[in-house]
């Protein structure tokens, strides 16, 4: 049996709760970390897109990652979203995360600057050279305006410290090409909840999930069923969860998931600008889905 990858299974991109004054709601944050860990999630992705990472100061980043390491205490892997569109800033945050005890780093492709493939390769290898903690490359062209091509991922996979990719291109042909071309010890993870089943069936090793914030134990059961090849159970959970997986993207993530967690009584529905709360026209539909899943 193949050895399990350090980032195999279900990782959840955590939502960050805020108070009315837009400071971090520390009590709700610790409660949410415990909700994830009690739900059996394999990894906690802190300060990712879902956590509203572009709005954090270094002090807030330090608090969020450090607290996750402390609360987790080895029960779930802690993966810090330390990427930026400036390589030196990414290195600084990555070193902070390493010092705080993170198990891994999630590094988003540089956004806005639109680097060419050689620039992407240089960016990731510079970060990987600067730390000892392993890296997950995050390819999300819909947010970054740049697509990391399969051949670039294959080149990066030669670096001993670059050990996985979170693929959110939505292009299954591209994802399959990556899976077919990288070494067995390099993990391809889904960056899109709705593609968990096909991606793992094609040889992927897991998911970095948004829906895990709402239904951690069910997403864990779904991911495990996909990984173990229990297709009957995997398909059943895929269709049961699908309305929620799609609803989480009715508006820009994390707008819907934060509204859902507010309806569930887990945190206030407060976002930092430029994000705003869910449009009221979506509220009843989202509530119906949560009611159907029995989480209200």
Query: What tens digit of pLDDT does each residue of 31-54 get?
Result: 999 999 999 999 999 999 999 999
Band of residue 1 on the pLDDT scale cut at 50, 70, 90: very low
Q: Has residue 57 got a pLDDT over 90?
A: yes
At 123-133, the pLDDT tens digits run: 999 999 999 99
Q: What is the pLDDT of residue 2?
A: 53
- Can 166 be counted among the known catalytic residues? yes
Overall average pLDDT of the 108-119 stretch: 97
Catalytic residue among 77, 138, 222, 258: 138
- The structure tokens 């009843």 sit at 284
Q: Has residue 107 got a pLDDT over 80?
A: yes
- Can 233 be counted among the known catalytic residues? no
Catalytic residue among 29, 121, 124, 166: 166
In order of start, what are the domains of the chain with their CATH numbers? 9-228 (3.20.20.70)
Longest dimension (CA), the chain: 51
């Amino acid at each position: 049996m193949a050895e399990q990858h350090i980032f195999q299974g279900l990782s959840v991109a955590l939502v960050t709760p805020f108070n009315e004054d837009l400071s971090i709601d520390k009590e709700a944050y610790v409660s949410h970390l415990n909700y994830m860990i009690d739900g059996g999630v394999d990894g906690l992705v802190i300060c990712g897109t879902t956590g509203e990472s572009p709005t954090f100061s270094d002090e807030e980043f330090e608090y969020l990652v450090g607290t996750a390491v402390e609360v987790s205490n080895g029960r779930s892997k802690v993966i810090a979203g330390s990427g930026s569109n400036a390589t030196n800033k990414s290195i600084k945050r990555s070193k902070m995360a390493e010092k705080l005890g993170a198990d891994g780093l999630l590094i988003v492709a540089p956004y806005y600057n639109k680097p060419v493939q050689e620039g992407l390769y240089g960016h990731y290898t510079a970060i990987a050279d600067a730390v000892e903690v392993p890296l997950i490359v995050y390819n999300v062209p819909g947010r970054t305006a740049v697509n990391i091509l399969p051949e670039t991922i294959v080149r990066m996979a030669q670096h001993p410290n670059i050990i996985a990719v979170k693929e959110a291109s939505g292009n299954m042909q591209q994802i399959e090409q990556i899976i077919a071309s990288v070494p067995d010890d390099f993990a391809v993870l889904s960056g899109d909840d709705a593609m968990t089943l096909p991606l793992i069936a094609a040889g992927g090793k897991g998911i970095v999930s948004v829906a895990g914030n709402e239904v951690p134990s069910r997403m864990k059961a779904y991911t495990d069923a996909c990984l173990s090849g229990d297709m009957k159970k995997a398909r059943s959970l895929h269709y049961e969860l699908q309305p929620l997986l799609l609803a989480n993207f009715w508006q820009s993530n994390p707008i819907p998931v934060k509204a859902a967690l507010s309806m569930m009584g887990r945190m206030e529905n407060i976002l930092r600008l430029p994000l705003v709360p869910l449009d009221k026209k979506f509220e009843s539909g989202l509530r119906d889905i949560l009611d159907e899943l029995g989480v209200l």
